[in-house]
Copies of this chain bind each other. A is one copy, B any other.
Amino acid sequence: MLEKAGIVLTAAEKAEIEVADFGLGHLDSQGLELVTYINTDRYCAKELVLFPRQTCPEHLHPPVDGEPGKLETFRCRWGEVLLYVEGEPAANIQAVLPAGSEACYSVFHEIVLRPGEQYTIPPGTKHWFQGGAEGAIVSEFSSTSRDEFDVFTDPAIVRMPSVADGELQ
């Protein structure tokens, strides 16, 4: 999908694409593929890949170490992304809620991003997003990324397996 969108990765980057299923075991319906280009103590840039109708589950970025939560800008590069944030809910959302997890989605203000369109999500705002019929490639520009602190609505989600989880495997 990245190649189709004209986005070039090095061999090392291809080998390190992060595939997140959030511990739910249903990557196709709830998951996200990520390439982190750079993550410093001042800024972060990633490329996000969403398969068709693949959903990144609802979450927010809390304050960490006295700093406001992560501020992030999503820029659609290819395909279509359906983004939901806090605010006036759409009468009928275009996204299809992941079967069995419907109760873990609570914000329905709809923003549809097509190539060249972007949206900036304020810190501490609940949000989730889904790839359209063909999926999506989204560039994420943000403040420092500390994914391990993300707060998910679904209590079954583990964003980053802890050391203890690793030891138990």
- Copies of the protein in its oligomer: 2
The smallest C-beta distance from A72 to any residue of chain B, in angstroms, reads 9
Q: Which stretch of A3-11, A49-57, A89-97 is in the interface? A: A3-11
Is A37 touching B77 in the complex (CB atoms < 8 A)? no
Could you tell me how many residues of chain A have their Cβ less than 8 Å away from some Cβ of chain B? 27
How far apart are the CA atoms of A141 and B44 in the complex, in Å? 7
In the complex, whether A120 has a CB less than 8 A from a CB of chain B is yes
Q: Which of A17-51 contact B (CB under 8 A)?
A: 37-38, 40, 42-45
The reply to whether A117 and B10 form a contact with Cβ atoms under 8 Å apart is: yes
**Minimal beta-carbon separation of A60 from chain B (angstroms):** 17
Say whether A73 faces chain B, with CB atoms less than 8 Å apart: yes
Nearest chain B CB to A15 CB, angstrom units: 13
Q: A43-B44, A141-B37, A141-B141 are in contact. Are A115 and B75 (CB under 8 A)?
A: no
- B42 engages A45 (CB within 8 Å): no
Knowing A37-B75, A73-B38, A141-B38, say if A8 contacts B43 (CB, 8 Å): no
A116 on interface, CB distance cutoff 8 Å: yes
Cβ–Cβ < 8 Å partners of A125 in chain B = none
Shortest Cβ distance from residue A127 to the other chain B in the assembled complex, whole angstroms: 17
11 further contact pairs, Cβ within 8 A, besides A5-B6, A40-B120, A141-B141: A10-B117, A13-B116, A37-B73, A37-B141, A38-B120, A42-B42, A42-B143, A43-B71, A43-B141, A43-B142, A43-B143
